Amino acid sequence: MTHDDVTLSWRTPVEDRELVELTAAHGGTPEAGWWDRVRPHSLGWVAARTPDGALVGFVNVAWDGGDHAFLIDTKTHPSHQHQGLGTAVARHAVAETRAAGCEWLFVDYSADMAPFYEDACGFAPTRAGLVHLR
């Protein structure tokens, strides 16, 4: 799948250092080694790359090994934000998760992200509970 000059792929190699760079560019707090620890718990992930191979978008799909999957760690490089890439990445993850046979795909988000996840990506709002552990 291609979005303008960006190619989306499912479960292609992504290096930990690339996610550290994308997380920092995105405004997050990167943690070296994070992806190496998380990847084994993933059903899959979507990587969005420019023609020169730069990682400009990402989302991870964690799962319980059965019917339930969880969309997490959605990131779009600032140079590619507000152009529909994040939506394309999330929709690609939805399609691949469906193709893998999962019944449910969950995502949690703050109120300011509701237009993205609900309107652009098609997630329905639900009630959920949360315990802050740290």
How far apart CA 20 and CA 16 sit, in angstroms, is: 6
Topology of the domain comprising 2-108: Aminopeptidase (3.40.630)
CA distance 84 to 69: 23
Cα–Cα distance, 133 to 46 (Å, whole number): 28
Q: Are 77 and 57 in contact (CB under 8 A)?
A: yes
pLDDT along the chain (134 residues), means of 10: 80 96 92 94 97 97 95 94 94 96 93 93 88 80
| Opening angle at CA 18, ends 12 and 24, nearest 5 | 140
Residue type, 15: E
User: What was the pLDDT predicted at 14?
Assistant: 97
**What confidence score (pLDDT) does residue 4 get?**
64
pLDDT of residue 3: 63
Question: C-alpha angle with apex 114: 41 to 46, nearest 5 degrees?
Answer: 35
Nearest C-alpha neighbor of 50 from the set 83, 96, 98: 83
Contacts of 24 (CB under 8 A, 6+ apart): 30
Domain ranges of the chain: 2-108
User: Cα(75)–Cα(28) distance, rounded to whole angstroms?
Assistant: 9
pLDDT at position 27, please? 86
CB 44 within 8 A of CB 10: yes
The span from the CA of 8 to the CA of 106, in Å, is 21
